[in-house]
A and B are shown apart, each in its own frame.
Chain A
Amino acid sequence: MMQTVLVLTAVIFSLAAGGAIIRIARGPSLLDRVLAADVLLAILGGALCVDMAVNRHLNNLMLVVAISIIGFIGSVTVARFVADRREQPNES
C-alpha cells in the first residue's frame, strides 16, 4: 500500500510543482512570482514529509522544521521592497 501511495503522491506533487513553476514563469507581477515560490517551497516540504513517512526515517525532519521557521523571510523581504512600476492597474 505504501508504494502505491508513494507513486500517487509523487505524481500529484509533480503536477503541483509544475503548476507553481508555470505561475513563476508567467506571473504578471513580482508578487505573484513570490507567492508561487512560497507554494513551491510548501510543495517541497510536503514531498520531504511524504518521503520520510513512507520510508520511515527522520533524516529530513530538521530541514522541514527549518523551512517552516525561516521560509517566510524571502517573501517578506521581496514584499517590503516591491515598487509599483506598472502603467495601469488591474492588468494582472
Chain B
Amino acid sequence: MSPDATGLDFWIDLVSAAFMVVGAILSLGAAIGLLRFPDLLSRMHAATKPQVLGLFLLLAAIGLQMRSWWVWPVLVVAWIFQLLTVPVSAHMVGRAGYRTKHLHRELLTADELEAVVQKAAAKTAREDGSGDGQVR
C-alpha cells in the first residue's frame, strides 16, 4: 500500500467491519429461523444463509484485513467448495425430509416432486406386476 493511504486504511477497516457484523447477523438469522419456522423445508431455507452469503462476507473480511493479494485465491477456493458441497447436502436432506413426510403440505405452493414420484411408482408397479408400488 502507498504510505499516504491512512484514509484508505480506515475505509477498508470500516468495510470489513461491516462485512463481519453482517455475516454474524446472518448466522443469528439462521438460528432464529431454525427456532421459529414450522417444518423442515422452511428451516432449510433459513439454514443456507450463513453457509453461502455469511461465509462469503466473512472470507471477504479476511481478505480485506490481510491487505495482501495472495490470500484471495485460497478464500475463493474455500467459497467455491462451499458452493459445490452445500447443495449436495441440502438435496439429500430435502429428499429425505420429503420421503419421511417432514413437511406441511398446506404450506407448499408447488410440489413438482410428487408427479415424478407417482410416475416412478406406476412404472415399478407395472414392472413388478404385484409390486407394492412404493418408491423409496
Q: How far is the CA of A39 from the CA of B74 in the complex (A)?
A: 22
> Which residues of the partner chain B approach A46 to less than 8 Å between Cβ atoms?
23-24, 27, 50, 54-55, 58
B125 within 8 A of A: no
Binding site for B on A (CB under 8 A): 1-2, 5, 8-9, 12-13, 15-20, 22-23, 29, 31-32, 34-36, 38-39, 42-43, 45-46, 49-50, 52-54, 56, 58, 61, 64-65, 68-72, 75-76, 79-80, 82-84, 86, 89-90, 92
Q: Do A65 and B55 have beta carbons less than 8 Å apart? A: no
Chain B nearest CB from A49 CB (Å) reads 4
- With a 10 A CB-CB cut-off, give which of A2, A45, A46 has the most chain B CB atoms: A46
| Residue of A with least CB distance to B52 | A42
Distance between B42 CB and nearest chain A CB, rounded to angstroms = 11
Chain B interfacial positions (CB closer than 8 Å to A): 13-14, 16-17, 20-21, 23-25, 27-28, 30-32, 34-35, 38-40, 43-44, 47, 50-51, 54-55, 58-59, 61-62, 64-66, 71, 74-75, 77-79, 81-82, 85-86, 88-89, 92-93, 95-97, 99-105
Shortest B82–chain A CB gap in Å is 4
Known: A75-B89, A76-B92, A79-B96. A19 touches B32 (CB 8 A): yes
The A contact surface, by secondary structure, is helix
Residues on B with C-beta less than 8 A from A32 are: 40, 43, 102
Q: Are A75 and B92 in contact (CB under 8 A)?
A: yes
Beyond contacts A13-B27, A16-B27, A31-B40: 13 other A-B pairs, Cβ-Cβ < 8 A, are A9-B20, A13-B28, A16-B28, A20-B30, A43-B50, A49-B62, A50-B24, A53-B62, A61-B75, A68-B55, A80-B96, A83-B100, A89-B102
- Chain B residue at minimum C-beta to C-beta distance from A34: B93
A65, B74: Cβ atoms closer than 8 Å:
yes
Asked whether, in the complex, the Cβ of A45 is within 8 Å of the Cβ of B30, the reply is no
Which of B21, B59, B79, B96 is in CB contact (< 8 Å) with A5?
Answer: B21
Chain B residues, Cβ within 8 Å of A54: 20, 65
Supposing A31-B100, A34-B93, A43-B50 touch, asked if A68 and B79 sit within 8 A by C-beta, the answer is yes
